[in-house]
Amino acid sequence: MRPDDGFRELDRQECLVLLVRAPVGRIVHTRHALPAVLPLNFSLDADSAVLLRTAADSDLARAVDGVVVAFEADEVDARAHSGWSVVVTGRATVVTDPVEHGRLSRTGPRSWVASPRDVFIRIEPELVTGRELVAGRAAHGADIRP
């Protein structure tokens, strides 16, 4: 980011606080050698890992287990020209430990679509970045609203 581009870089802690507020995010991964983006609900675990819940036999569970993915969430006010975006990049793994699965069944995200058998996917927060635009005002003071 340039100092005058109108955005403020967010530190890791600010990013994690904002993620807790977001009800939906998007996982970015590779599917059949092409980029794929899928919106879904999520939560953060105590160690700040992103938690997803999906059907055990889903394409998503097969595509992301053991690979590096990105997860993005944001909040935008188009009228006020303000908002933020946070990206978590890290290795995704399907949780296979039965005790951990049981814990996440109680504390993790709830699925919006019923599945006879679900799994949790953890995305380790190896890189957490974010930026914010406040009320359509550039860093150098120019009003960038129409």
Between the CA of residue 93 and those of 15, 108, 145, what are the distances in Å?
Answer: 22, 15, 42
Structure confidence at residue 62 (pLDDT): 93
Residue 1's pLDDT band (cuts 50, 70, 90) = very low
pLDDT tens digits for range 87-104: 999 999 999 999 999 999
Can you give the pTM of this predicted structure?
0.86
Burial of residue 22 (number of CB atoms within 10 Å: 0-12, 13-18, 19+): middle
pLDDT reading at 84 higher than 80: yes
pLDDT tens digits for range 112-128: 887 889 999 999 999 99
